């Protein structure tokens, strides 16, 4: 069964590693060229190292290894003008745009509600994962419309976009607020862009084996809060998913097989959101 993805072009934020890299390589295997962007720098209050320029270059190398083209740009999704330039340069080089994956994300845990960095952590989390998603939609929508071929946008939310999972500190509050907030953006833009045959959906992963949860800071926080381990168990007997599990769902959403799917919140969560 064909996916209809050959020779299409995807714009992927947070592409340096983790889910973003997996999405790029998986789409490339189906014939998609990629515009890859990442901040490639650490951000204040985030308690683990973020992707580097070398990481982003490695994603591009893996895409090219699949026989596809890759354009890379270092950009912060909170900076709409810079994000717009990166998008426009990538489209100019690759010739079209068909798929947009608003994937950039980060995770804070272990702060205190009275810590002086609490509000800054809130700002960083919300800025990247809510403002950054809206910026991604804003800079890409006109090119998708003008292309006249329709298209597909997938926003990475989380099971935390369907359930309340914060510990009441700034970073997690920002994460929860953003992951819920992008569902509203998705439903809005599904209506706005639907007449142009552009579909918009969110995916909601449970825990995924990436640096977002494999870092020392997250491990220390879980060790200090053992009750969290029980709350965050999946229904299926698997502790975490692999990035490719989310990538495979995205391939379906953006492919011909998902051509009539829009406005949905798709859990890829091993049953996490239905757990009693």
Q: Which fold has domain 9-267?
A: Rossmann fold (3.40.50)
Q: Is the pLDDT of residue 113 over 60?
A: no
pLDDT tens for each residue of 125-180 = 999 999 999 999 999 999 999 999 999 999 999 999 999 877 788 888 999 999 99
pLDDT band at 2 (very low <50, low <70, confident <90, very high): confident
The pLDDT score that the predictor gives to residue 168 is 81
pLDDT of residue 103: 98
Is 189 assigned a catalytic role?
no
3-state secondary structure of 75: coil
Checking if the pLDDT of 18 tops 60, the result is yes
Is pLDDT of 112 > 70? no
- d(CA 195, CA 234) in angstroms, rounded, equals 38
Q: Give residue-wise pLDDT tens across range 220-234.
A: 888 887 777 677 789
Give domain limits for the chain.
Answer: 9-267
pLDDT greater than 70 at residue 1:
no
Q: What percent of the chain has pLDDT over 90?
A: 85
Helix (H) or strand (E) holding 191: helix 170-193
Reported as a single tens digit per residue, the pLDDT across 35-74 is 999 999 999 999 999 999 999 999 999 999 999 999 999 9
Mean per-residue pLDDT for 94-99?
Answer: 98
Tally the C-alpha atoms within 13 A of residue 254's C-alpha that lie toward its C-beta.
Answer: 34
Rounded percentage of the chain residues whose pLDDT exceeds 70: 97
59: alpha, beta or left? (left if phi > 0; alpha if psi -120 to 50): alpha
CA 175, CA 144: separation in Å to the nearest integer? 28
Which of the following is catalytic: 48, 175, 189, 260?
175
Query: CB-based burial of residue 18 (10 Å sphere; 0-12 exposed, 13-18 middle, 19+ buried)?
Result: buried
- Is residue 257 over pLDDT 80? yes
């Amino acid at each position: 069964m064909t996916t209809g993805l050959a020779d299409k072009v995807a714009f992927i934020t947070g592409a340096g590693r983790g889910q973003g890299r997996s999405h790029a390589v998986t789409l490339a295997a189906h014939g998609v060229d990629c515009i890859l962007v990442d901040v490639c720098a650490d951000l204040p209050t985030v308690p683990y190292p973020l992707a580097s320029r070398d990481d982003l270059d490695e994603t591009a190398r893996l895409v090219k290894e699949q026989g596809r083209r890759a354009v890379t740009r270092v950009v912060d999704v909170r900076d709409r003008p810079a994000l717009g330039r990166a998008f426009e340069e990538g489209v100019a080089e690759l010739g079209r745009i068909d798929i947009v994956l608003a994937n950039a994300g980060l995770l804070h845990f272990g702060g205190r509600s009275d810590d002086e960095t609490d509000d800054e952590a809130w700002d960083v989390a919300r800025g990247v994962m809510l403002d950054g998603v809206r910026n991604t939609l804003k800079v890409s929508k006109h090119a998708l419309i003008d292309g006249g071929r329709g298209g597909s946008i997938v926003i990475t939310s989380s099971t935390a976009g369907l359930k309340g999972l914060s510990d009441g500190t700034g970073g997690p509050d920002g994460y929860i607020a953003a992951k819920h907030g992008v569902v509203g953006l998705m439903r809005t833009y599904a209506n706005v862009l639907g007449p142009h045959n552009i579909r918009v959906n969110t995916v909601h992963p449970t825990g995924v084996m990436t640096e977002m949860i494999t870092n020392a800071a997250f491990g220390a926080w879980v060790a200090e809060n053992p009750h969290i381990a029980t709350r965050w168990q999946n229904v299926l007997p698997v502790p975490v998913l692999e990035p490719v599990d989310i990538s495979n769902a995205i391939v379906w959403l953006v492919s011909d097989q998902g051509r009539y799917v829009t406005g949905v919140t798709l859990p890829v969560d091993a049953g996490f959101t239905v757990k009693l």
